[in-house]
Amino acid sequence: MKKRTIIIGLAGVFIIGSLIAIIALRGDKPTTSVSKLEVTLTPADLAKESQIVLTGRFISSNVREVFEKDTGEKMIYTDWQVEPQEVWKGTASKKLIVSILGGENGNLVVIADTQGGQNLKPGDERLLYLYYRDDLQAYTPLSTMQAIFTALPGNIFRDEAGTEYAKTKLTNEIEKVQ
Amino acid sequence: MTGGKGYKMRKKFLALVAFFVAAMAGISAPNAQAYYNSGHHWDYGNPTRVSVYMHSSILPAWVPAISHAMSSWNQAGAKYRFIAGSQGHEVRLQYLSDPHALAITYVREGWNNNRITDRDTYINSRFSWDVNGDPNKYDVENVMAHEFGHWLMLNDLYSGGDYWKTMYGSGAPGETYKRTLHSDDISGIRAIYGI
């Protein structure tokens, strides 16, 4: 009886060990990292070039694969449903979809080097400068790094580098907090 | 004797605090913002050799500029070499859907524990390009020096204090300073590949 228990125990340890070894040897999923060197966008550029400017809350997300014709790359975008809080420019539906590069779908992982859109989670509030991209058939930020700002109390907005901005009185622009 | 014991305890406590402070300083001080790498890297040969293929869309006049950007990284003193080749990882001029991307680099990794399997850079033909620092055009060498940093797995930097580094993540017309690697760019690449 005791011998049998020991044999079963050893077999269990062997099976679990083998599974761990297989997972370890297989490594991470195939990943494509995307790095973009972007045009420098000033607050005035952001206001001028965007079609919609709004503060909004990220509600939920879905991932989808997009075949980018120009580069022939299969990319993953995360479609976020955003609930507008305050629209500064353009018009936005109550359930606006904003596509942001990066995500995981099955065995394909796409990571955007730019951090702006990568760490979003439901409930986050952001100031977004958006334009409509035909090939995505969705609104997307002008830049994942320069056009997504964390909304802080008191109408203060912080970019990914930690610089804080305040809304100007007359336009849909923001300006650096001195 | 009791006072001696208390003194020893205090000494131990202070030593512990000093150790903790030193450890925290050690963690935060050495170039915390100096460079940013993904933790992944090329791992073929010693030194690692990365073959760069300039696609036929690249104008002949740009080839010396791109080669110079490769040389800048080769001279950083780390264990890798960019080599121009008739095949390999591609640099291409292409019209890109993203109207704000000067260039996009794709890095692919397979089921092999974070080892890079492929790398390509697309220079966006939406923009006007030049190799002589024209103030109204984007400089090929400036942009490719930045992109080759991505090839080696350095990531973008965005803080104001990082502006003068090759890996700063945005660019402007006439800008050429990224052609010359900043000491932090060099530290980053040496940290990844060793010297």
The pLDDT score that the predictor gives to residue A28 is 62
Task: Give the CA count within 13 Å in the CB-facing half-sphere of B138.
Answer: 23
pLDDT attached to residue B26: 39
Task: Inspect the interface and report whether the beta carbons of B94 and A70 lie closer than 8 Å.
Answer: yes
Residues B26-80: tens digit of each pLDDT: 333 333 356 666 666 666 566 788 899 999 999 999 999 999 999 999 999 998 8
Lowest mean pLDDT among A17-31, A119-133, B129-143: A17-31
| Average pLDDT over chain B, rounded to an integer | 83
Find the mean pLDDT for residues B134-157.
94
pLDDT beyond 90 at B143: yes
Count of A–B CB contacts within 8 Å? 110
Structure confidence at residue B192 (pLDDT): 86
pLDDT at residue A18, rounded to an integer: 67
Assess whether pLDDT exceeds 60 at residue A149.
yes
Pick the residue of A26, A29, A34, A35 with the most B CBs within 10 A to test the interface with B by mutation.
A35
CB A93 within 8 A of CB A83: no
The proportion of chain B whose per-residue pLDDT surpasses 90, expressed as a percent, equals: 55
State yes or no: cis peptide before B47, omega within 30 of 0: yes
- What are residue A83's DSSP bridge partners? A57
Among B142, B118, B171, B119, which Cα is nearest to B62's? B142
The secondary element (H helix, E strand) that includes residue B74 is helix B63-74
Q: What percent of chain A has pLDDT over 90?
A: 50
Instruction: Report the gap between the CA of A1 and the closest CA in chain B (Å).
Output: 43
Q: What secondary structure letter does DSSP report for B40?
A: -
The answer on pLDDT for B24 being more than 60 is no
User: So what's the pLDDT on residue B22?
Assistant: 44
Q: Is the sign of the CA dihedral B158, B161, B164, B167 positive or negative?
A: negative
Indicate the average pLDDT of chain A.
86
Question: Are the Cβ atoms of A135 and B158 closer than 8 angstroms?
Answer: no
Question: Which pLDDT value is given to residue B44?
Answer: 59
Question: How much is the pLDDT for B28?
Answer: 36
Nearest residue of chain B to residue A162 (CA atoms): B159
Q: Which of A37, A108, A137 to mutate to test the interface with B (most CBs of B within 10 A)?
A: A37
Q: Are strands A31-39 and B170-171 parallel, antiparallel or unpaired?
A: parallel
Domain architecture of chain B: domains with CATH: 6-193 (3.40.390.10)
Which ipTM was obtained for this model? 0.79
Distance of CA B16 to the CA centre of its chain: 38
Neighbours of A65 (CB within 10 A): 13
pLDDT higher for A57 or A15? A57
pLDDT in tens, A87-137: 999 999 988 999 999 998 888 888 887 655 567 899 999 999 999 999 899
Strands B89-94 and B101-109: unpaired
Identify the pLDDT of residue B117: 75
pLDDT of residue B166 exceeding 90: yes
